[in-house]
Chains A and B, each alone.
Chain A
């Protein structure tokens, strides 16, 4: 009974915040609504017993997304200039609203008519999990059964970074991106950024490490490590790295490259691309995940920082 009240409250709040995000006047209120909306989504994911997803949503939504969007809202403070399109006329607005209501109703119809019992891959996923040496079926799906997806997703992240960097002006190529920091620093923030990262790095590594058997994994751990790096940069304790740096680029590419290398190794050893040789599955998976975590920790801050805006030091 009370559980239902909780679920209904969560649903009502998440819809309210989504409504504000879409319809509020002003960009900053919309962005703050969206940040709060992300927090509520993690609560809903917990209620759906998707703790791995809740952790991803918390780590990405709570850390990097908020910084990215608030930074963007501030940079685009006068960006109403960009909106050259005329406001839509009311009849058109109503037509669009009707279309969206229709979409919602169609989806709701699908939700209400889902087959019962639901088709599921859970037995298959759990059945062979012993062969991978993992205890967390979500990690097993990500890194073993659907490893190809995960590897391509790593490539997508690297491509996104390439895309962001390619927006740089020619004279800044190889230089450092914006650091999202105050012109004059705040002493409190410096203290905070000295105190938080040791704990954050510990928690990030823990979440990565327990991901083999409990909720957690490379994405979640990597996103937390990324956030720690960002707070250090934002508090002026370290400069944003130059995009031309060799170690920077190695860190970005390490995840997909190691993943691909292990995949090819699997092809040689067992005639199956991305297959792990029997008995070596767990060590290989951990090996791949270490580099994935590293790559994610390097990629996400570079995505938030945007293209370089200062020329490289000679």
Chain B
């Protein structure tokens, strides 16, 4: 049981790290602002979500786990909002604003 949970943690956190890497690569390599935005908002939230899933078995009790989930939910909400806002602002004001 313990081994299985550790395996889950290691797998989820490793995959999550790869998503952060993907987000950065996208941010650096994609050709224009809107595609970079896509890389950013997709990757970092999945990445953080997987890291949180990996940390859940290690959390202190139910409250600790709940806080981790709240952190993820809040970042998800912020990320989605910021993605929309920056995209709309680029459409309104042009990318060089």
Contacts and interface: CB of A to CB of B under 8 A. Distances in A.
B85 A188 contact: yes
A287 interface: no
Interface in B60-95: 70, 74, 77-78, 81, 84-85, 88-89
Main secondary structure of the interface of A (DSSP, over half): helix
Interface residues of B, number: 9
Nearest to A203: B70
Contacts of B70: 199
Interface string A188-203: 1101100110010000
A196 B84 contact: no
A196 B77 contact: yes
Main secondary structure of the interface of B (DSSP, over half): helix
A234 to B, nearest CB: 11
A192 B77 CA distance: 8
A186 B88 contact: yes
Interface in B14-50: none
Contacts of B74: 196, 199
Contacts of A199: 70, 74
Contacts of A189: 81, 85
Interface residues of A, number: 8
A188 B83 CA distance: 10
A228 to B, nearest CB: 12
B77 A195 contact: yes
B77 A186 contact: no
Interface in A32-79: none
B6 to A, nearest CB: 17
Interface of B: 70, 74, 77-78, 81, 84-85, 88-89
Given A186-B84, A186-B85, A196-B74, 4 more contacts: A188-B84, A188-B88, A189-B81, A199-B74
**What 5 A-B pairs are tightest by C-beta distance, nearest first?**
A188-B84, A192-B81, A188-B81, A186-B85, A188-B85
Interface of A: 186, 188-189, 191-192, 195-196, 199
19 contacts: A186-B84, A186-B85, A186-B88, A186-B89, A188-B81, A188-B84, A188-B85, A188-B88, A189-B81, A189-B85, A191-B81, A192-B77, A192-B78, A192-B81, A195-B77, A196-B74, A196-B77, A199-B70, A199-B74
